[in-house]
Amino acid sequence: MPEHVHLLVSEPQRNTLATAVQALKQAVSRQLIGERKHFWQARYYDFNVRTAKKRIEKLRYLHRNPVKRRLVEKPENWEWSSFCNYASGVEGVVVLLTT
């Protein structure tokens, strides 16, 4: 999305999800912030996915969101999506990390 990001992540093996998100924000900020004082909002919204059914629901939402927002006609046209990787195994800009 132009003004926000969606992530579907597993709980890290070390530390907490909050620590992992903080590290991600810091790394991105160092590369992109330049002279700006703020890049990220102070907080993030999280939702605990506890079932395979809910995981699929959230993944579909992530993949369909750019279409719903009329940014692209089809999910596979959104460059910053994991859709193609899930649909065909083709790796794009978004790389899926599995353990």
Q: Encode pLDDT of 24-33 as tens digits.
A: 888 888 877 6
Given pLDDT bands bounded at 50, 70 and 90, which one contains residue 59?
Answer: very high
Is the model's pLDDT at 53 over the cut of 90? yes
Mean pLDDT value across the chain: 84
Q: pLDDT band at 14, cuts 50/70/90?
A: confident
pLDDT at 2 over 70: yes
**Residue ranges of E strands in the chain:** none
DSSP reduced 3-state for 88:
helix
When pLDDT is cut at 50, 70 and 90, the band that residue 54 belongs to is very high
CA dihedral over 33, 70, 46, 19, signed as positive or negative = negative
CB of 71 within 8 A of CB of 83? no
